Amino acid sequence: MDLGLEGRTAVVTGASRGIGLAITRGLAAHGALVVAGARRSSAELDQLAEKGQVQVLEVDLADPGGPGRLVALAGNGPDILVNNVGGAPARTGGFLSITDEDWQASLTLNLMAAVRATRSALPAMLAAGKGSIVTVCSVNAALPDPAVLDYSAAKAALAGFCKALSKEVGPRGVRVNTVSPGPVATDLWLGDQGVAQAVSHATGAKAGDVAREAAQAMVTGRFSRPEEVADLVLLLASDRTANVTGSDFRIDGGLIPTW
């Protein structure tokens, strides 16, 4: 399917691996010019940059000025903003183990990075009378989990922010939507510092067994793939969904069984 992204300029946060890397790769494959931000680049992201469609900035998106510096590389402003950066530390010690510093870090990375990137990208979109902002949220916004308590709260706030903003800027041609994945086969879940390993260290269960149990909680019996999430993001970024705004699209393998 031709998504009509040829020549569009996109900004992607958290682009070095996982979902962000898949989104960056997909946008570039469809002819978009991508400004990709991450605290540290990766070999895969550097390879995309060598092909000329992707510009990489190593930037701390938790720093108040980081998102703005990234968006500034889009020149006259992006046509597309993908707020993807985030993190979900496993809180195996329960609520009382989560410090003020932990809360601040989660809210900064999972909520304020998106707020700040959006604040930087929005003026150019409003001036142009068009634009698409797609934010990677989480099923945990609607399915809070004590194992990622502060992450769940931050994602719920992120969902509320995006819905409210869609009502403000929709009449001026800017669309705002969210994509909410369940468990995805990325380092966030399966890496050496991921959720499965954290739960393994806390409980003594094997990390592979933790991951399999999580997969079995989904109707499909498996984690989503980063590319599947990226495909949904690309569709929302394109004019194929020109009358879609203020919506959340869940990709969770049936993890949430209600409407």
Distance between alpha carbon 253 and the CA centroid of its chain, in Å?
Answer: 18
List all residues 6 or more positions away from 98 whose beta carbon is below 8 Å from its beta carbon. Answer: 91, 149, 150
Is 148 considered catalytic here? no
d(CA 20, CA 184): 12
Runs of H (alpha helix) within the chain: 18-29, 43-50, 66-72, 100-107, 113-128, 149-169, 187-190, 195-203, 207-216, 226-237
- Sign of the CA dihedral running 228, 50, 6, 244: positive
Helix (H) or strand (E) run with residue 178 in it: strand 174-181
Identity of the amino acid at 122: L
Catalytic residue among 151, 161, 189, 223: 151
List all residues 6 or more positions away from 34 whose beta carbon is below 8 Å from its beta carbon. Answer: 9, 10, 11, 12, 15, 24, 27, 28, 48, 53, 54, 55
Q: State the DSSP string of 46-91.
A: HHHHHTTSEEEEE--TTSTTHHHHHHHTTTT--SEEEE--------
Write out the catalytic residue numbers: 151
